[in-house]
């Protein structure tokens, strides 16, 4: 998959995208991520990319021209799926990330300041928010989206890692996990995980996931049917 990121702050992406699993995915060629500096496309003398909002109000608005020209240069003759990261967008879900992971190419536009000139929306196929709070810009949300969808691209996670057993993969929060030692400073791993009885362990994990979800995110239990089917299948 090819991901192009249009941003005023390309340097923000350096560490995050080159480390760990995303770094490995790029090195192996499964994933190709390129950042593009919107400012380089500003056609004014001072490379200005923002201006005061018509009608007044606080803050500055990102200008249309640098974004239009940057988008045109990045897309060329292709028509990749173009996403604007904005608190006005639809909330990112695991399901949506999984769908996006199937595309060959996406372009992410990071908004900044008080917003983006509304005419930029004529270039955009989808607006995504990562949560009901406002960040200083779309860069961190773009990193979150890239990280989240990459996990669903075949080969990005090693065989030891799984995108299916995690919180949200089946509509519930994840059950508790433990590793060695079985007893640590007086804290013991639940006995049921040590005796190797697969059916009992699966049942215990399901119960724990239900309990955790009920406690932390009761609204998610609306997805319970999906989970129950997944659980009873095996």
Pair of tokens at residue 46: 């001072």
The token pair that represents 155 in the structure block: 């080969």
For ligand ADE, the binding residues in 25-64 under the rule CB under 6 A are none
Taking alpha carbons only, the member of 164, 167, 138, 141 closest to residue 151 is 164
Please give the structure tokens belonging to residue 95: 């399901």
* Lookup: tokens for 210: 């239900």
Instruction: Closer to ligand ADE by CB, 97 or 172: give it.
Output: 97
Are the C-beta atoms of 2 and 105 separated by less than 8 Å? yes
| Contact status: 3 vs ligand ADE (CB under 6 A) | no
Strand segments, DSSP code E, in 20-80 are: 32-37, 50-51, 61-62
Kindly write out the interface string for residues 115-154 of this chain, putting x where it contacts ligand ADE by CB under 6 A and - elsewhere: --------------xxx-xxx-xx--x-------------
Coil, strand or helix: which one is 72? helix
Give the residue with the Cβ less far from ligand ADE, 111 or 171. Answer: 111
Q: Which is nearer to ligand ADE, 66 or 141 (CB)?
A: 141
DSSP H/E element including 165? none
Encoded one letter per residue, x for contact with ligand ADE by CB under 6 A and - for no contact, window 197-216 reads --------------------
Sites for ligand ADE among residues 57-116 (CB under 6 A): 85-87, 111
Residue closer to ligand ADE, measured from CB, 135 or 201: 135
Total number of residues that touch ligand ADE (CB under 6 A): 13
Neighbouring-strand partners of residue 50: 62
Residues that bind ligand ADE (CB under 6 A): 85-87, 111, 129-131, 133-135, 137-138, 141
């Amino acid at each position: 998959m090819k991901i192009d990121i249009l941003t005023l702050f390309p340097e923000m992406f350096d560490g995050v995208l080159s480390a760990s699993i995303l770094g490995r995915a790029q090195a192996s060629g499964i994933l190709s991520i390129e950042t593009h500096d919107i400012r380089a496309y500003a056609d004014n003398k001072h490379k200005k990319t923002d201006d005061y909002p018509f009608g007044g109000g606080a803050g500055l608005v990102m200008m249309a021209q640098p974004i239009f020209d940057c988008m045109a240069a990045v897309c060329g003759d292709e028509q990749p799926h173009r996403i604007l990261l904005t608190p006005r967008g639809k909330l990112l879900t695991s399901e949506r990330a999984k769908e996006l992971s199937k595309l060959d190419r996406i372009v992410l536009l990071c908004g900044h300041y008080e917003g983006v000139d509304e005419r930029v929306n004529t270039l955009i196929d989808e607006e995504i928010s990562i949560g009901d709070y406002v960040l200083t810009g779309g860069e961190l949300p773009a990193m979150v989206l890239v990280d989240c969808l990459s996990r669903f691209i075949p080969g990005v996670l090693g065989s030891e890692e799984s995108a299916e057993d995690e919180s949200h993969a089946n509509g519930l929060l994840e059950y508790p996990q433990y590793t060695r030692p079985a007893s640590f400073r007086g804290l013991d791993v639940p006995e049921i995980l040590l005796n190797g009885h697969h059916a009992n362990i699966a049942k215990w994990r399901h119960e724990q996931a239900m309990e955790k979800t009920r406690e932390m995110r009761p609204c998610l239990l609306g997805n319970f049917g999906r989970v129950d089917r997944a659980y009873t299948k095996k």
